Amino acid sequence: MDEAHISHGFRSKRQTQAKDRVPPGQYVTADFPILSAGPTPQIKVSDWKLALQLGGSLLGVWTWEAFEALPQTTIKTDIHCVTKWSKLDTTWQGVTFDDLLKAVGLSGPPEPYVMAHCGGGYTTNIPLADLIGGKGMVATHYDGLPIAPAHGGPARLLVPHLYFWKSAKWLRRIRLMPTDERGFWESLGYHNYGDPWKEQRYDGD
């Protein structure tokens, strides 16, 4: 369709949204809706470990205590869910990918792609370039408090410039890959990259 069909009688009930902050097709909410494919895993921090994997070898494994001892960064950012809501000015604390790579002695990206493996069998794929340079982190705190299980605690990815399904909940293992592979939603009809500003919601967008 070249031109949108006008729905007569339909009008905006919302206050004017800042176009430079809200991507096309999104609306701002003050809530923090929850969306996931299955039950919420209840993961104790005493059982939690995060692994960084390159090919067949483990570059690093952190317990909760060791992970909390890594350099901490706080980010204030807007988030955009593919289900159309956006939330402005959310505050997250965690470890940036730059610091994570540094912690295992890497000065640059060893492979171009990442697969995030999570509780519940969930996976998502992201180019490593979208995680370094301060763009992505493993977040452990939201708004000053530990992230609740329903929101992905103890630890989730945070890649705020992509649709929020890429910010995978219940992160357990980060696998560096030489070639791109599709994750869970990416194999089920959602876009492989997911740029909200280009409205890359579904495959083919």
CB of 150 to other proteins, least distance (A): 6
Q: How far is the CB of 152 from other proteins (least distance, A)?
A: 13
Instruction: Write down the least CB distance from residue 141 to other proteins, Å.
Output: 21
Distance CA 131, CA 97 (A): 6
Residue for token pair 């890497």: 106
Nearer residue to other proteins within complex by CB, 101 or 171: 171
Which is closer to other proteins, CB of 197 or CB of 202? Answer: 202
Give the nearer residue to other proteins in terms of CB position, either 33 or 71: 33
Q: What is the dihedral of CA 151, 154, 160, 165, to 10 degrees?
A: -50
Distance of closest approach, residue 168 Cβ to other proteins, in angstroms: 15
Q: Cis ω on the peptide bond leading into residue 154 (within 30° of 0)?
A: yes
Cβ at position 186, least distance to other proteins in Å: 7
User: Which CB, 111 or 205, lies closer to other proteins?
Assistant: 205
Strand-strand pairing, 171-177 and 145-146: unpaired
Q: Which residues bind other proteins (CB under 8 A)?
A: 1, 4-14, 24-25, 27, 29-31, 33-41, 83-85, 120-121, 150, 182, 184-190, 192, 202-205
**Whether 95 contacts 68, CB under 8 Å:** no
In sequence order, the 6+-apart residues with CB closer than 8 A to the CB of 88 are: 21, 28, 78
Half-sphere exposure of 69 (CA within 13 A, CB side): 6
